[in-house]
Structure 1
Amino acid sequence: MKPTPGKLAGLKAVSDSRGVVAAAAMDQRGSLQKSIGANRGGEATGDDLVVFKELVTKVLTRYASAILLDPEYGLPASRMRNDAGLLLAYEKTGYDANTAGRLPDLLDVWSVRRLKEAGADCVKILLYYTPYEDARVNDLKHAWIERIGDECRYHDIPFFMEPIGYDENGKGEKTLEYARKKPSVVTKTMEEFGKERYGIDILKVEVPVEMGFVSGTTSFKGEAAYTREQAAQLFRDAESATDKPFIYLSAGVTNPVFIETLALAGESGTKFSGVLCGRATWFDGIKIYAQQGAPAFEAWLNTVGVENIKNVNEALKVATPWYKKMGFNSMEELG
């Protein structure tokens, strides 16, 4: 189906000339503030978040098709983009830890209309989701996404949806047990949110494996959940769950691990349409910013940060334009 004029304009705005999303993610809030404070040995403020986001945006958007920011601390940074598109996050950071099921919430004083007025080319929503959660909890989440999808349809702006899997039993996501379960979590989630009822344009998904548990890779840590060949098949299985274009998130892994992940995705023949890559490009700079200040962090970004994002861009040569996932052969066909 051909995107509507507003959705098409938004998708083009956040893509490179090939129709691949080569975007940087800088919408972290609570976790970023904690990390800066921990590395400083004290507290981090909202001003720290504003400055950190400004510097990442100023430097990395020279090499990115777009940047994902939040409207709480990221709007000053949005004005420092270098000819890059803008995605804005609509959800509150984190989740309600006092309620079972990791229920989401929207930012109190924001709406899709307001995000668009603030300059967003696309709207992004993160949702903690597992198909193995209590059905009543997931019903709430489904309805929540339906509402946002309708809001984005009304305002004719692309909807990027980011489901993050978790262990519904509370045992954590770093275990061998969860690594074995993750492929089905990711695949079933992509199948669910690929349905037209949700109005999602691009799925921003986790890769369906934990690279530290893939034998035959340099990321392997010694305990195997799958072989390299099995992992490649799991990438293909996840892709087959939906016709929607999808991009990968970096999920907090290091730059070398993320590059190897994208190489494995390409090796498997998976037709992913890009990335929204955050911590794999700038995470190691948190310590620099916290301990040495903004000028040192900017210098780090201009060297190591730029090298990191260039590595990601090189790995994206195997990506498939989102318009091909929609059944079109060229951007020109879309008008």
Structure 2
Amino acid sequence: MKPTPGKLAGLKAVSDARGVIAAAAMDQRGSLKKSLGAARGADANDHDLEVFKTLVTRVLTRYSSAILLDPEFGLPAAKERNSAGLLLAYEKTGYDSATKGRLPDLLDVWSVRRLKEAGADCIKILLYYSPFETTEINDLKHAWVERIGDECNYHDIPFFLETVGYDVDGKGEKTLDYAKKKPEVVSGSMAEFGKARYSVDVLKVEVPIEMSFVEGTRAYKGESAYTRAEALQHFRDAESMTHKPFIYLSAGVSNPVFIETLELAAESGTKFNGVLCGRATWKDGIDVYGKKGADAFEAWLEDEGVKNIENVNAALKAATPWYTKFGAKSLAELG
């Protein structure tokens, strides 16, 4: 079934000429403020977030098909996005660590209607999710996503769902034990939220492996969770879980690691449809902004930031247009 007119228009707005989603992400809020403060040695404020987001948007959207921003601090940046498409985040930043299950929440004074009125081409939600979580907690999350899907359907705007896995046992996501579970976490999330009841248009997913645990990669750190051949199969297995378009998130890794990750996805033959890449392009500039200020950070973006995003764009040559997931050979076939 082809997308409705509004959803089709939104997907076109955030895609490049090939129909690949080559989007930058700049919707970090709480974590970014902490990082900027740590770099400066003094607290960062709301103005710092607005300036940082504006500079990233001004520079990197010259090389990306879209930008993901938040309506809390990102709307000034949205005005400087160089005609790139706009995704707006709908969820509150972070989660309540005192509450079991990393339950999600929506921004208090925003709705899909209001985000669309603010200029959003697409709506994005982040959900911490694990198939290994209790049925009680996951049922709350399932119902929550259903509500958002229905809201996006009513307003005829694409719904991007970002699922981020976590260790339900609380031992952390950087361990060998979690690396072994991660393929099931990612595949299970894709299988669940690819169901029609959620009305998700694009799944924004983690890669199904932890690169530092893959033998034979440049990112490998000596402790093995999978051989290279097994890692390639995990990519294929995750893809088989859904017929929905899906894109990869960079998940905070460095630019070289993310590029190698996309190379591995390409080697596996996985037909992914793009990326929403954040910290892998601008994270190393946080220290520059904190220590030297906005002008120095903008100069860094024009040099290193541009190199980073051009590296990502080169790796995206292996991506497949999202419209192929609807059985179309061109955008024109969809209307």
Do Structure 1 and Structure 2 share a fold, with TM-score over 0.5? yes
Q: Which residue of 2 aligns with 1:86?
A: 86
Residue aligned with 1:215, SS: coil
Deviations 1:180-239 (A, max 9, x none): 000000001100000000000000000000000000000101101001111000000000
Q: Report how far residue 326 of structure 1 moved.
A: 1.6
Q: Report how far residue 69 of structure 1 moved.
A: 0.1
Q: Which residue of 1 aligns with 2:131?
A: 131
* Cα distance between partner residues in 2 of 1:38 and 1:298: 19
1:95 is aligned with what amino acid?
Y
- TM-score scaled to structure 1, two decimals? 1.00
Are 1:61 and 2:57 matched, yes or no?
no
Deviations 1:33-69 (A, max 9, x none): 0000011111010100000000000000000000000
Residue aligned with 2:203, SS: strand
1:130 is aligned with what amino acid?
S
1:30 is aligned with what amino acid?
G
2:139 is aligned with what amino acid?
D
Q: Which residue of 1 aligns with 2:199?
A: 199
Deviations 1:47-98 (A, max 9, x none): 0000000000000000000000000000000000111000000000001122
Are 1:216 and 2:209 matched, yes or no?
no
Q: Report how far residue 178 of structure 1 moved.
A: 0.2
Q: Which residue of 1 aligns with 2:328?
A: 328
What are the residue-to-residue correspondences of 1:14-53 with 2, within 5 Å?
A: 14-53=14-53
* Cα distance between partner residues in 2 of 1:109 and 1:83: 27
Are 1:12 and 2:8 matched, yes or no?
no
* Cα distance between partner residues in 2 of 1:328 and 1:198: 23
What are the residue-to-residue correspondences of 1:175-254 with 2, within 5 Å?
A: 175-254=175-254
Q: Which residue of 2 aligns with 1:315?
A: 315
Q: Report how far residue 325 of structure 1 moved.
A: 1.4
* Cα distance between partner residues in 2 of 1:212 and 1:326: 34
1:82 is aligned with what amino acid?
N
* Cα distance between partner residues in 1 of 2:214 and 2:188: 21
Residue aligned with 1:2, SS: coil
Q: RMSD of the TM alignment (CA)?
A: 0.4
Q: Which residue of 1 aligns with 2:101?
A: 101
Deviations 1:1-23 (A, max 9, x none): 10000000000000000000000
- TM-score scaled to structure 2, two decimals? 1.00
Does 307-316 or 324-333 show the bigger shift? Answer: 324-333
* Cα distance between partner residues in 2 of 1:187 and 1:327: 22
* Cα distance between partner residues in 2 of 1:325 and 1:20: 12
Q: Give aligned-pair identity as a percent.
A: 75
* Cα distance between partner residues in 1 of 2:49 and 2:136: 36
Residue aligned with 2:236, SS: helix
Structure 2 regions of 5+ residues with no counterpart? none
| Structure 1 residue runs of 4 or more that deviate by more than 2 Å after TM superposition | none
Does 93-102 or 234-243 show the bigger shift? Answer: 93-102
What are the residue-to-residue correspondences of 1:279-318 with 2, within 5 Å?
A: 279-318=279-318
* Cα distance between partner residues in 2 of 1:270 and 1:146: 28
2:21 is aligned with what amino acid?
V
Residue aligned with 1:238, SS: helix
Q: Which residue of 2 aligns with 1:165?
A: 165
* Cα distance between partner residues in 2 of 1:272 and 1:255: 19
* Cα distance between partner residues in 2 of 1:315 and 1:5: 30
